[in-house]
Every structure is written in C-alpha cells, then in structure tokens.
Amino acid sequence: MKFVVLKKGSIILFIIGFLALSLGAVWMLLPKQSYPTVTMNGENPNVQVIKLVTGEFSSKTEDGKEIEAYRWDPGTIVVDKGEEIQFRIYGVNGQAHPFHIEGTEVKGIVKKGEESVFNVTFDKKGTYKLVCESHDTIEKNGPMIGYIVVK
C-alpha cells in the first residue's frame, strides 16, 4: 500500500493556485462596460452602426517647425457587402472636414463638436476611401483618408 505525503507548503501552494484560478474565472464571467466602435442599431437591428471621430497629431521638427496631420479614427473598417451601414462621425479636432466616399454618392461635412450621421450600402466588394477634402495631401496636413473594406 502506497501513501502520499503532502507537505504543508504544497497544500498552501495548491490552495493559492486554486483560489487564483477561481477568481480569474469569476472575473472573466462578470459583465464588462465597453464602448464598441461597431454596434447594431437599436432602432433597426438590421443596420450596423460604425462610430468614428476626427483626430489630429502634432509635433515639431528638429528645426522647430510645427507639423500636424489629421485622420479618421479608426482608420480602417471592415463591413459586409450588401449590409446597410450607418456611419456616426463625431468632430473632435479641426473646425470642419468636408468628405466623400470614393465610388459612392456619399458626401458630407463633419464639424467640431457635432456628429454627422449617414447610411450607406456597399453593393460591390473592394476598398473604398473616406477622403477629407480639406486634408487630402501632406501639404494640407493629411492625407486624412480612412479605408472601408467591403468583403
């Protein structure tokens, strides 16, 4: 007959490990408060909602010149072909960003402190550019271009 001898240290280590795993499992099951970039529309669950903001980076070069660049955030979005998408773009940086989505009839303007909302359905797969017309080149503090990948 074999006997297993457990030392006090081994028992304590086992208990601590078991408690740590148990607490981790409980923490994983708790509801998390999150702020999704992509959600489904509460009014119409068949419409996917994409939330973006305008952003700005600024810095100085070694010779002291101030440089800045504007962008859409997030910069790349993936959607399904044929799905109705609602874009909600909030203006954070810059006074105004007139924009268009290449390959569509979508045009608009995002103003600082305001949210621009529009719906679009992409019927063809591919990559569409969300272009700010005020910041479309490096010389104009851009390029402020977002990419919409339709799969």
Give the Å distances, CA to CA, from 24 to 17, 29, 30, 36.
11, 9, 10, 24
Residue 130 exposed, middle or buried by CB count within 10 Å (0-12, 13-18, 19+): buried
- CATH fold for domain 38-150: Immunoglobulin-like (2.60.40)
Reported confidence tier of residue 18, pLDDT bands at 50, 70, 90 = confident
pTM of the predicted structure, to 2 decimals: 0.68
Domain ranges of the chain: 38-150
In angstroms, what is the C-alpha Rg of the chain?
Answer: 25
Residue 45: both structure tokens together = 């669950």
The residue to which tokens 């002291």 are assigned:
64
At 127-150, the pLDDT tens digits run 999 999 998 888 888 789 999 999
Helix residue spans in 6-142 (DSSP H): 8-29
For residue 143, whether the previous peptide bond is cis, meaning omega lies within 30 degrees of 0, is yes
pLDDT (0 to 100) of residue 43: 65
At 29-53, the pLDDT tens digits run 877 665 555 555 556 778 899 999 9
Rounded distance between C-alpha atoms, residue 110 and residue 100, angstroms: 11
Rama region for 146: left / alpha / beta (φ>0; ψ in -120 to 50; rest)? beta
Nearest CA-CA partner of 99 in 48, 145, 53, 34: 145
pLDDT (0 to 100) of residue 38: 53
